[in-house]
Amino acid sequence: MKEFDVFVQDKPGELAKICELLGAHGVNIKAIASERANQKPLIRIVTDDEATAKGALARTGITYDLKDVLSIRILDRPGELGKIARKLAKSMVNVDSIYIIGKDGGMTEMAMTVDNLKKAEEALAK
């Protein structure tokens, strides 16, 4: 799974433009988050079709970075994410982004990007 870090202008309508573009190409958004640091807005998106999303963004000249996503499923109860975060911290893995993809059957699926995917996977396998 990949995360698109889509760089947009700081003006109304940018979110609509990106979401409409992906929708027009049949790309479903599985997870989305945004941030605005130093007046540089960024939309983080995980889709169900990486190749089509890449093509749609590229054809319109919208710039983005693509990052590997660590997808985890945890029990949907207090403290579980804290346990995961502590394992990553003990392994000196920095979390760059994190958000919920969905919940089902007492489980929560989370997406995160990290500074060292291999170390993160090893830490969480313990």
CATH number where 63 lies? 3.30.2130.10
Residues 59 and 10 in one domain: yes
Indicate whether 84 and 62 sit together in one domain. Answer: no
15: helix, coil or strand? helix
Which amino acid belongs to residue 87?
Answer: K
Distances, alpha carbon 35 to alpha carbons 13, 39, 45, 77, in Å: 15, 10, 12, 26
Say how many domains are in the chain. 2
Q: Say whether both 7 and 57 belong to one domain.
A: yes
Q: Is the pLDDT of residue 39 over 80?
A: no
Predicted model pTM: 0.87
pLDDT value for 126: 84
Look at residue 79 in the predicted model and tell me its pLDDT. Answer: 97
* Domain end (from 50, 67, 84): 67
User: How many angstroms separate the CA atoms of 126 and 122, rounded?
Assistant: 7
**Do 7 and 23 fall within a single domain?**
yes
End-of-domain residue from the set 67, 91, 109? 67
88, pLDDT greater than 80: yes
Co-location of 23 and 61 in the same domain: yes
Question: What does each C-alpha distance from 96 to 34, 88, 114, 117 come to in angstroms?
Answer: 13, 12, 5, 11
Say if residue 12 is exposed, middle or buried (CB neighbours under 10 Å; 0-12, 13-18, 19+).
Answer: exposed
- Tens of pLDDT, residues 45-84: 999 999 999 999 999 999 999 999 999 999 999 999 999 9
Least-confidence region, from 33-42, 47-56, 94-103: 33-42
Q: What is the pLDDT of residues 24-37, one digit of tens each?
A: 999 999 999 998 87
Looking at the structure, tell me whether residues 73 and 121 fall in a common domain: yes
Q: What is the pLDDT of residue 40?
A: 82
Question: Residue 94: which domain range?
Answer: 69-125
The per-residue pLDDT for 111 is 94
High-pLDDT (> 70) share of the chain, %: 99
